[in-house]
Amino acid sequence: MAYFKKIFFLVFFCGSFSLQAQIERMEPPFWWSGMELGELQILFYGEDIGDYAVSSEDLIIENVRKTENPNYIFVTVETEDISAGSYDLQFKKRGKKDFTRSYEFRPRKEGSKLREGFNSSDVIYLIMPDRFANANPANDSQPGLQEEANRSLQGGRHGGDIEGIIENLDYIKDLGATAIWSTPLLEDDDPRYSYHTYAQSDVYRIDPRYGTNEDYRRLAEEMHERDMKLIMDYVTNHWGAEHWMIKDLPTYDWVHQFPGYKNSNYRMTTQFDPHRAEIDRKLNEDGWFTSTMPDLNQSNPLVLNYLIQNAIWWIEYAHLDGFRVDTYSYNDKEGIAKWTKAIMKEYPNFNIVGEVWMHDQAQISYWQKDSPVGAIQSYNSHLPSVMDFTLHDALIAMFNEDEQGWDRGMVRAYDNFANDFLYPDIDNLLVFAGNHDTGRINEIYDGDLQKYKLALAMVATTRGIPQLYYGDEIGMRGEKAEGDGDIRRDFPGGWEGDPQSAFTEGGRTAQQDAYHSFTKKLLNYRKNKEVLHIGELLQYVPQDNVYVYFRYNTDESVMVVINNNPEAQELDLNRYTEGLEGYTLGKDVVNGQEFQLNETLKVEGKSPLVLELKK
């Protein structure tokens, strides 16, 4: 603040007034006409700005909210039917020179409201930007931000950036992915481990070590030209301790206080446990995720409005196609439901997937929109999509189980899908073998290509929205026990001077190419197969560690055989008459081999078989 005082006195004594001396921040920085949101809460921040009265001849001011911190004013203006243009707000104080601040409403892009979000026709490619590709080494370290690049440090910043993603979009599209979920790109000024960017310090600014706001919008534009979708990783539960607002809180209860810091107990079940102790619920919901991530209080209307507007601002500004919401089930559950509902009202065809890291289908279902489980407690999150962590649990266990037991082997998959009746929308479940927080799937499988093929075949052909973690398609490994940095290794070829590049066929090793070619074949087949997007699922109880299911509609059917037995198995096709009725031929979608579907079908050990059925 001392810096701004100096500027104020310098300009004042020169006989003029500098607006920047009084208002340091205005958020949102601008807005749009034609939005569903009928009012806008504008935050003004500056030293003792709360001493001023605010008026406007151009805008209808519905409310001026001042807080116990005189450095803030929250001005709510009516925006219904407002036209694009600049509008003045006057700041007045007796004994002080009055000043005017202009606020801009921009014209909204045609069709913005009805944009189509990601859905089960997509395959999502999850990128950790700092570890994917560094196309602009000049931005690796930035003045004013504490942590500098250090690629030799596992938990340090390695320099990957937005330009690196843009330069490799054709690689991702060629692989068969149609959407990108990037872990957060907003500014994170933590002094250490800031590369993950979940401890954000400015939620209206792309971290300069990744690029600029304009670069992020250009990423979306480049993707849309390729008929791809961009999903932002949005954090509602917490900010970083270095966030400018955390350092000068607008209100004491902007974050949860005990007073001060108390860690979450991470017991998400307390959100709906009918027998819970209130202290346990409070520690889960209000406790901080870590000591460097203050927990935001969404029950404070100022906080909730700020988060709603910030989310909408990014959708509109960057032309986003979806959100993945971090730690969704740690939020104030009524507050996060209002946040979600407001966004879906603004963009009814948008999609939001919440991270609900739980290990029971009923508990995960509780958080999906219109859940019959949530309805028991009259709760509706309005959240369209949740992550299928129980399937993930099955995937990391069952393919290392060569023998089937009552609850082992492929029975794990069958039992998972048998509980689909708990979900109101099974096509809107995110299915995955691994992500940036879990163990690397190829480490869990000890580099076994066949096990990877089994897992990918299931993820790509079952109900829901498939998600692939960057590098899994080339067999990348990493040990969770060695630290998060090890499961977030640099993609080979993303840095100048790398000894080889897995972005090109010629640069991949034979082993990497074996992973890649299978992935590319399967994902590109799925891309145009509606039956795999929204077809019905028919499954059979596994036998001899072999799991068989069908995806079908009135016109098409795909038969999937997951042979998790190390030995080749010969299936008696009479058992599968219900799924095979009317079909006599099956074509392997990976290698093109055709099979007569008369009496038996032989499947090699530890192998998947995906057959497009023909009459």
My answer on whether omega of the bond before 28 falls inside 30° of 0, hence cis, is yes
Instruction: Tally the residues of the chain.
Output: 615
Report the run of H or E that residue 219 belongs to, with start and end.
helix 213-225
Which is it for strands 124-127 and 179-182: parallel, antiparallel or unpaired? parallel
How many other CB atoms are there within 10 angstroms of residue 469's CB atom? 25
Nearest to 318 by CA among 173, 200, 207, 219: 219
My answer on whether omega of the bond before 259 falls inside 30° of 0, hence cis, is yes
Report the run of H or E that residue 158 belongs to, with start and end.
none
Q: Residue 384's beta-bridge partner residues?
A: none
Largest interatomic CA distance in the chain: 95
**d(Cα 411, Cα 413) in Å, to the nearest integer?**
5
CB 476 within 8 Å of CB 541: no
Report the run of H or E that residue 210 belongs to, with start and end.
none
Half-sphere exposure of 119 (CA within 13 A, CB side): 12
As annotated, the active-site residues are 326, 355
How many other CB atoms are there within 10 angstroms of residue 578's CB atom? 9
Amino acid, res. 378: S
Helix (H, G, I), strand (E, B) or coil at 363: helix
Through-space distance between the first and last CA atoms of the chain, rounded to whole angstroms: 75
Which is it for strands 179-182 and 186-187: parallel, antiparallel or unpaired? unpaired
